[in-house]
């Protein structure tokens, strides 16, 4: 458990309380991941955090602050590199009770998290001309495609759509697409389609129900996953998980640290809670996951006790208590 | 002959930087002989040919003084002759109306997207799309009025790729100071001309610090020369999130190539679909008009269900560019009135022509019948669309 900064500690405490009420078989080890300078001058996360993670393999993370001019890279990036978190999974399901113009959204975006346009390789060739390199490799593309199909199979999803722009970026997205096609051969039970990025965007805002699981390289994934989050109500209610090599998985809330409401018991723990539910499913504890998720959705649907960002006026602790109560009722 | 060369030399002297966008240009539109303009027509693939036929029909009824020079491009061929012919024709006429040309994946990677080749050869650096909520169209969001200006020649679409080692491919995204300043300048000039208050630059400079950082810096520099217009910036993923929840907050948006692709498609979807929004590509010397979302629509081709609105409105933009504003207004009003009245299931080109005829007292009607489902653009969106 990495509480994070800002509202991180409050929402982490809320989640731990709800898990206790649900009697979930989880023990939490809290760690801080503020970067420190290791031997050789490279920035790294504290060794006890790394050791804890390597041992337990599963983590839950609150929002982390990226201080400007602190000298070290963003902590999220550091975590990603340390544990080789190659897949970012974001399931987007419409929440009953939180009204958005889009209802019945139920899709999952799986985004390659290590390369693509975010390789960070840029240089100024001559003054006024900048070149940024987008890197696509066979291994990374195959790995993410395999994960996508495995996820679809494990979660009983019907189809996987590869999102690309191979008409313009023939070689790079072409390679990504070829790997997806190859992997699709081994998963004949799942329907595989491919669609251009612009077509997906166009259709997504008109009718999101036609999409199921989407797999794509880094940049498209970034844009599309946030687009889908916007469809269901924003980052405050969207869960997210990062899967790494060696079985490591870190689940997190993707919203910011909200320093303006930190410590005032006003935060909405839904995003972190739903990420924790994702974590339970990943670990195979489906009953507990279902219980907590039902309790959370029921609370939001009833609209009696809601935090400010969901349209209510309750405090974080009241919201948490309500969910705990429902969880206990359901057990 | 002498008058002809006098006109041509006059046009060479008074060549404004932004053809057609500045209200009243002293430069006469190119390729105008005997009061009639010649415009290059590239049908393209999929629904392109049928849509352009509808445009020609409507022009005929409205007696628009425009002649079309048709140039066909066969996307199945590997050679570039077709494209070179098309480009030469556009250079000659100065203005073109086109459908989308399909990019076949089966051809080797050295054969670039033909639409892209056209844009870069003619240096059509600005892609302008005006997304407005149209009356009579049911959408989730109302009162949208966004102008999107997208850099059209560089960025991620530079088509520079190589396989360094087997299994490792690099694709280059190029951002240059000159092009960024050029597009930012265009955006601000357009905003001022149209009385818009705010320009938003869309970028990802927190990750691509040098590339998008340069773009953003150029926008800021240009913005300082326009104190009457507010300038702000937004990261592209936040932008898409805001667009699906509160699109009314945006006014004018300027961005590099790929984000432009994403944002323009999202906005087109928000106002009702790809069949409703026209797009225009402007360069210093040439202008090419097409549908905003550049769809080939292969799966609905020749079934008589494509929505002609986008192409018709694009042809109105073209008429404005040629200074034939009366004809442009006539056709535009006819299209919008028809859409408003015929709310439900069918839009007939016949009716559209009727409206035009009513305004113009021509009496010929051709029974061209197009029908599409109640939610406009519904059919177009579910099919694989290429460009």
| CA–CA min distance A202, chain B (Å) | 5
- CB distance A132–B159 less than 8 Å? no
Residue with structure tokens 């987008």? A134
**A67 has a chain B CB within 8 A of its CB:** no
Phi-psi region at A40: left, alpha or beta (left = phi > 0; alpha = psi -120 to 50): left
Domain boundaries, chain A: 1-71+236-330, 101-232
How many residues does this entry show for chain B? Answer: 387
Tell whether A266 lies on the interface with B, counting CB pairs under 8 A.
no
Q: Which of A201-210, A302-311, B37-46, B91-100 has the lowest mean pLDDT?
A: A302-311
User: A 158-177 residues with CB below 8 A of B?
Assistant: 165-172, 174-175
B377–A206 CB contact, under 8 Å: yes
Asked if A122's CB is within 8 angstroms of B208's CB, the reply is: yes
Mean pLDDT of chain B: 79
pLDDT tops 80 at residue B88: yes
E strand residue ranges, chain A: 36-37, 43-44, 58-61, 85-93, 106-112, 122-126, 129-137, 159-164, 191-196, 213-216, 239-244, 249-253
pLDDT at B343 over 80: no
User: By the CB < 8 Å criterion, does A129 face chain B?
Assistant: yes
Give the count of beta carbons closer than 10 Å to the beta carbon of residue B199.
26
Q: How far apart are CA B346 and CA B82, in angstroms?
A: 37
The β-bridge partners of B232 are: B200
Q: Which CATH superfamily is domain B140-270 in?
A: Isopropylmalate Dehydrogenase (3.40.718.10)
First vs last C-alpha separation in chain A: 25
pLDDT in tens, B259-279: 999 999 999 999 988 888 999
Q: Report the residue from B167, B176, B384 with minimal CB separation from A139.
A: B167
Written out in words, the top-level CATH class of the domain with range B1-127+277-387 is: alpha beta
CB spacing of B113 vs A168 below 8 angstroms: yes
- Closest residue to A195, CB basis, from B161, B268, B384: B384
Distances (CA, A) of B331 to A322, B52, B318, B320, B358: 60, 15, 12, 11, 11
Q: What is the CATH number of domain A1-71+236-330?
A: 3.40.718.10
Interface residue A292 vs chain B (CB under 8 A)? no
- The shortest C-alpha distance from A233 to chain B (Å) reads 8
Chain B partners within 8 Å of A224 (Cβ): 240
Q: Which residue of A has its CA nearest to B167?
A: A138
Chain A CB contacts of B112 under 8 Å are: 170
The CATH homologous superfamily for domain A101-232 is: Isopropylmalate Dehydrogenase (3.40.718.10)
Distance from CA of A15 to the nearest CA of B (A): 26
- Chain B's closest residue to A174, CA to CA, is B105
Domain ranges of chain B: 1-127+277-387, 140-270
- B45-56 tens-digit pLDDT: 888 888 888 899
pLDDT tens digits for range B316-328: 999 999 999 999 9
Mean pLDDT of A66-79: 66
- Confirm whether A1-71+236-330 and A101-232 share one CATH topology: yes
Share of chain A above pLDDT 90, in %: 30
pTM over 0.95: no
Q: Which chain B residues are within 8 Å of A205, Cβ to Cβ?
A: 243-244, 266, 269-270
A68 close contact with B: CB closer than 8 A = no
Selection from B319, B318, B311, B301 nearest residue B335 by Cα: B311
């Amino acid at each position: 458990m990495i509480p994070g900064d800002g509202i991180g500690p409050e929402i982490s405490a809320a989640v731990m309380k709800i898990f206790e009420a649900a009697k979930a078989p989880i023990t939490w080890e809290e760690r801080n991941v503020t970067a420190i300078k290791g031997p050789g001058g490279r920035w790294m996360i504290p060794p006890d955090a790394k050791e804890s993670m390597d041992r337990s393999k599963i983590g839950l993370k609150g929002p982390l602050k990226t201080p400007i001019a602190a000298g070290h890279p963003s902590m999220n990036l550091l975590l990603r590199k340390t544990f080789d978190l190659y897949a970012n999974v974001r399931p987007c399901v419409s929440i009953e009770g939180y009204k958005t113009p889009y209802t019945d959204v139920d899709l999952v975006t799986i985004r390659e998290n290590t390369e693509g346009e975010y390789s960070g390789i840029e240089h100024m060739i001559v003054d006024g001309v900048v070149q940024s390199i987008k890197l696509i490799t066979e291994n990374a593309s195959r790995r993410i495609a395999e994960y996508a199909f495995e996820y679809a199979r494990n979660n009983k999803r019907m189809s996987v759509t590869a999102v690309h722009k191979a008409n313009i970026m023939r070689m790079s997205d072409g390679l990504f697409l070829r790997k997806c096609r190859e992997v699709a051969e081994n998963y004949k039970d799942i329907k595989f389609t491919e669609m251009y990025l612009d077509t997906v965007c166009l259709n997504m805002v008109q009718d999101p129900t036609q999409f199921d699981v989407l797999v794509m390289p880094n940049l498209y994934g970034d844009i599309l996953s946030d687009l889908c989050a916007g469809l269901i109500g924003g980052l405050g209610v969207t869960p997210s998980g990062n899967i790494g090599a060696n079985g490591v998985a870190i689940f997190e809330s993707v919203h910011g640290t909200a320093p303006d409401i930190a410590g005032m018991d006003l935060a909405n723990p839904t995003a972190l809670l739903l990420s924790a539910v994702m974590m339970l499913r990943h670990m195979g504890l489906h009953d507990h996951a279902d219980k907590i998720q039902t309790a959370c959705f029921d609370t939001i649907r009833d609209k009696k006790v809601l935090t400010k960002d969901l349209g209510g006026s309750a405090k974080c602790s009241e919201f948490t208590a309500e969910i705990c109560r429902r969880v206990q009722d359901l057990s | 002959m002498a008058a002809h060369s006098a006109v041509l030399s006059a046009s060479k002297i008074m060549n404004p930087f932004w053809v057609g966008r500045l209200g009243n240009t002293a430069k006469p539109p190119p390729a105008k002989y005997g009061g009639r303009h010649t415009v290059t027509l590239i049908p393209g693939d999929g629904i392109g040919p049928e849509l352009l036929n509808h445009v020609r029909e409507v022009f005929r009824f409205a007696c628009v003084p425009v002649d079309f020079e048709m140039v066909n491009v066969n996307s199945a061929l590997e050679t570039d002759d077709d494209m070179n012919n098309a480009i030469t024709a556009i250079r000659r006429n100065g203005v073109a109306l086109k459908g989308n040309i399909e990019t076949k994946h089966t051809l080797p990677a050295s054969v670039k997207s033909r639409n892209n080749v056209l844009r870069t050869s003619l240096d059509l650096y600005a892609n302008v799309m005006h997304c407005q909520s149209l009356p009579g169209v049911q959408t989730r969001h109302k009162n949208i009025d966004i102008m999107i200006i997208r850099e059209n020649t560089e960025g991620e679409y530079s088509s520079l790729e190589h396989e360094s080692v087997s299994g490792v491919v690099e694709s280059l995204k190029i951002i240059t100071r000159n092009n960024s300043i050029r597009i930012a300048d265009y955006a601000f000039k357009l905003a001022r001309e149209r009385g818009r208050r705010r320009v938003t630059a869309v970028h990802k400079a927190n990750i691509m610090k040098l590339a998008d950082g340069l773009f953003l810096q150029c926008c800021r520099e240009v913005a300082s020369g326009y104190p009457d217009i507010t300038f702000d910036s937004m990261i592209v993923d936040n932008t898409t999130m805001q667009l699906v929840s509160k699109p009314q907050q945006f006014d004018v948006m300027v961005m590099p190539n790929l984000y432009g692709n994403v944002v323009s498609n999202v906005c087109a979807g928000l106002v009702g679909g790809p069949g409703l929004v026209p797009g225009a590509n402007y360069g210093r010397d040439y202008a090419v008009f097409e549908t905003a979302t550049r769809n080939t629509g292969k799966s609905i081709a020749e079934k008589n269900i494509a929505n002609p609105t986008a192409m018709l409105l694009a042809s109105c933009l073209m008429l404005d560019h040629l200074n034939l504003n009366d004809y442009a207004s006539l056709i535009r009003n006819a299209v919008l009135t028809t859409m408003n009245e015929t709310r439900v299931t069918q839009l007939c080109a016949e009716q559209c022509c009727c409206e035009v005829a009513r305004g113009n007292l021509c009496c010929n009607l051709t029974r061209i019948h197009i029908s599409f489902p109640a939610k406009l653009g519904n059919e177009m969106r579910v099919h694989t669309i290429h460009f």
